[in-house]
Amino acid sequence: MNTKRGSRVTRSAKDKTDWLKLKSTPDSAIRFTKDAPRTSPTEWAEAIAHHGLPVPVRKEQIALRVDADVLEWFRAQGAGWQTRMNEVLKTYRAAMARKVRAEHRHAADAHKDARR
C-alpha cells in the first residue's frame, strides 16, 4: 500500500464523502452552524474580488543580531511583532530612498545653476 501523502490510495481512504448524495441534496437541507455559517452573495463577491491579487513578496528568513532592548520592545507589542519590525525597516528604506532622490535633485539643480 502506498502511504505517500497525496497518493491515490491514501486520498481514497480518507475521502468518505458520498458525492452523489451531496449533489442531490437541495440547498434548503443545508444546516448552518457556528463552524459553517450562512454567507451572503456580497461576502462571496468580496472573496472573489480578492482572487487574482498579486502574491505578496516572498519573505526570506535570516539571522539578525538586534539589541536585546529593541527585541524586547517589539516582542512586548504582541502577536505580529516581526511583521511590524519588517514595516519599520521598509519605512526606513523608503525614507532613505527619498533622501537620496532629494540629494540628487539638489545636486542637479546646483549643476544647472553653475552652468548659467
- Between CA 63 and CA 89 the distance in angstroms is 15
Mean local confidence (pLDDT), 39-64: 81
pLDDT for the residue numbered 14: 67
pLDDT for the residue numbered 42: 86
**77-96 burial code (b ≥16 CB/10 A, e <16):** eeeeeeeebeeeeeeeeeee
Residue owning grid cell 538586534? 66
pLDDT for the residue numbered 99: 93
pLDDT for the residue numbered 76: 96
Q: How confident is the model at residue 27 (pLDDT cuts 50, 70, 90)?
A: confident
**Is pLDDT at 7 greater than 70 in this prediction?**
no
pLDDT for the residue numbered 1: 46
Q: How confident is the model at residue 66 (pLDDT cuts 50, 70, 90)?
A: very high
Q: What is the reported pTM? A: 0.46
pLDDT for the residue numbered 11: 47
What sign does the CA torsion over 90, 95, 99, 105 have?
A: positive
- Between CA 112 and CA 98 the distance in angstroms is 21
Question: Each residue of 67-113: pLDDT tens digit?
Answer: 999 999 999 999 999 999 999 999 999 999 999 999 888 887 777 77
